Structure 1
Amino acid sequence: MPAVTVDNPLSLPRVAAPVDALAREVLAVTTAPSGFEGEGFPVRRAFAGIAHRHLDPLIMMDQMGEVDYRPGEPRGTPWHPHRGFETVTYMIDGTLDHQDSQGGGGTITDGDTQWMTAGSGLLHIEAPPEPLVVSGGLFHGLQLWVNLPARDKMTTPRYQDIRGRSVPLLTSPDGGALLRLIAGELDGHSGPGVTHTPITMIHATLAPGAEVTLPWPSAFNGLAYVLAGHGGAGEDHRPIRRGQTAVYGPGASLTVSAARRQDTRDTDLDVVLLGGRPLGEPVAHYGPFVMNTREELRQALDDFRGGRLGTVPVAHRSSAPGG
């Protein structure tokens, strides 16, 4: 169950698309393959198999967990570089520590989001805190990569630490959906996350049988990724379930609904609604670098190998790449 919730959604501001808004049809539903990342934590690759034209400016998204670790099991990532994009790490349940080569860092937990603009580049590490490693516990989150426009590829790195309590909570007209507005605009409400490229990111929880139709910028693409439960996407209720992504076509409203009966494992439908204004620029992507040309990729690799993206602090060098 997500950490950020309310007892009575009807106490929240209500949002809905205008009745004459052009509904977005569902073009495709894809299933995220499962794998492992970093030092061995489980992930689902939410955007696998989706054409870039339906994602731009989004690059990739991993669902981390959901896993209930036993003592000694929690895993993180080793030190690694990034350049040319922004990472959005959203902890639905659990705790994650971050540290970078420039001395930045912090802890996000239970509904918090860390927005890291890698820009010109840095090294960083993400790991569960020592108490969680010792005790075990629930770990569930998302990491989204948002591309930077060419003019901002080499911008100075920065962070936005967004606490769960600062995220606007909204609901549908009947109170059947709880909407956590992490970034972007929704019916006059603004999320706290600020990106160089405009996007909208919402974590929605729908009660069994609930449906919500939201206004969606016509200039944005639209995606719905199911974290838990099952239901329908679009006005025709195209079936979607845990680990699947619905890709929406053009329009001005986006609809998602929860099945009246959920599996025993899930009491509600949890879905992340995403979209952004396409950059329409060439993308050269290799590992932790997202640039516009192959030459820029080569330069990023040379800068990393030459230590120009930073160096691992002495106390951590045993966990550095190749260390």
Structure 2
Amino acid sequence: MNGIEGSVREIVTDSEYIDVTVPAEEKFSHITIPGHTVFAYVIEGKGYFEEGRELCAFEAEGRRYIDPSENCAIEPGNVILYTDGDFIEVIAGEKGVKFLIISGKPIGEPVAWYGPIVMNTQEELKTAFEEYRKNTFGADPKTSNHVTKSQIWK
């Protein structure tokens, strides 16, 4: 973005991670790649994640459901899943908004998730937690180095 590139290279999903802070009542626009899954996660403040401020213009999940009688500003702890399109636009609330934009090419694999661990199947999840309990989760068989429990939960 703006000619700045991160250090992550050669990821098959062609992912993008952007930390965005928009001052009060300002507008932020970002071009997205057609065919990629795009979502925003609100960290601080409130914002309108659809230009027309339409309540049901996107799917949102998080700490609370949006009440149609309220305004549609999205608060911290909520995720906005965008449909395929050319760009997203966010208008900050009266105190500004801070959020992450994360996008990438879908890989079409199943997802099994529990807590901090994401795998493809329930069986892989069971194995991962068994390795976690034995303190071998993430072990590199060549070096015997492994991720410690404290590293996982940070």
The normalised TM-score by structure 2 is 0.62
User: Tell me, which stretches of 5 or more residues in structure 2 are unaligned?
Assistant: 55-72
Distance in 1 of aligned mates of 2:104 and 2:85: 13
Count the aligned residue pairs: 124
Shift of 1:208: 1.7
Distance in 2 of aligned mates of 1:249 and 1:274: 13
Structure with more strand by fraction: 1
User: Tell me, which stretches of 5 or more residues in structure 1 are unaligned?
Assistant: 1-185, 263-267
Contact 1:237 1:256 in 2 (8 A): no
One-letter amino acid matched to 2:5: S
2:39 aligned with 1:223, yes or no?
yes
2:67 aligned with 1:269, yes or no?
no
Report the counterpart of residue 52 of structure 2 in structure 1: 236
What's the secondary structure of 1:230's corresponding residue?
A: strand
2:79 aligned with 1:245, yes or no?
yes
**Which of the residues 241, 258, 266 maps onto 2:92?**
258
Contact 1:210 1:257 in 2 (8 A): yes
**Which of the residues 118, 123, 133 maps onto 1:290?**
118
Report the counterpart of residue 7 of structure 2 in structure 1: 192
What's the secondary structure of 2:74's corresponding residue?
A: strand
What's the secondary structure of 2:108's corresponding residue?
A: coil
Report the counterpart of residue 170 of structure 1 in structure 2: none
Distance in 1 of aligned mates of 2:116 and 2:99: 26
Contact 1:204 1:272 in 2 (8 A): yes
Higher relative contact order (CA 8 A, sep 6+): 2
Contact 1:187 1:215 in 2 (8 A): no
One-letter amino acid matched to 2:27: E
Q: Taking structure 1 as reference, are residues 189 and 252 closer, same or farther at Cα in structure 2, changes over 3 Å only?
A: farther
**Percentage of pairs with the same residue:** 30
Q: Taking structure 1 as reference, are residues 293 and 251 closer, same or farther at Cα in structure 2, changes over 3 Å only?
A: same
Contact 1:283 1:292 in 2 (8 A): yes
Shift of 1:236: 1.1
Shift of 1:312: 10
One-letter amino acid matched to 1:223: F
Shift of 1:213: 1.4
C-alpha RMSD over aligned residues: 3.2
The normalised TM-score by structure 1 is 0.33
Q: Taking structure 1 as reference, are residues 188 and 289 closer, same or farther at Cα in structure 2, changes over 3 Å only?
A: same
CA deviations over 1:136-171 (Å, ceiling 9, x no partner): xxxxxxxxxxxxxxxxxxxxxxxxxxxxxxxxxxxx
